Amino acid sequence: MPAPSPRGERGFTLIEVLVALAILGLIAGAVLALASQSARFEAEAETRFLAGVLLDNEMVEALGKVYALERGDKKVSKQFAGRSWTVIRSVSNINARGIARIQVKVMDRAGRVEAEAVTAKAEEQ
């Protein structure tokens, strides 16, 4: 606590003001860092959600076909929710007769796999 001045006025010293400003600066920096991290997490969650929706659509399309699926890999670029995606659908035989293995990968523009699923489909011979 500062000593009273000869006129009886009291106030904060320069050191006290600087310490208070430093503390406020640290708190403001922490809040801004948290806000930035929160926005980044939200954007990543939205990307994963949209990739999951696109993945579900591709799986439903593959499973809904009544004819036998073409074997091999099929890579397609798609626009969905205002973004560019790459979808890779791989269809292969498995040991059980009349069953196809379907794998779908959804990648973002940077080539990161954002969603992936594997299922099997019974096909008539």
C-alpha 97/C-alpha 94 separation (Å) is 7
| 22 assigned to some structural domain | yes
Residue 125 has pLDDT above 70, yes or no: no
Identity at 119, one-letter amino acid code: T
Helix (H, G, I), strand (E, B) or coil at 76: strand
| 54 assigned to some structural domain | yes
Range of the domain at 100: 14-122
The CATH code of the domain that includes 101 is: 3.30.1300.30
Total domain count for the chain? 1
| 68 assigned to some structural domain | yes
Average pLDDT score over the chain: 90
Residue 4 has pLDDT above 70, yes or no: no
The Cα-based distances of 103 to 24, 56, 82, 88, 116 in angstroms read: 53, 12, 24, 8, 7
Helix (H, G, I), strand (E, B) or coil at 65: coil
pLDDT of amino acid 2? 58
C-alpha 49/C-alpha 65 separation (Å) is 25
Residues written for the chain = 125
| 77 assigned to some structural domain | yes
**Per-residue pLDDT tens for 31-66?**
999 999 999 999 999 999 999 999 999 999 999 888
| pLDDT classification of 8: cutoffs 50, 70, 90 | low
| 7 assigned to some structural domain | no
| 62 assigned to some structural domain | yes
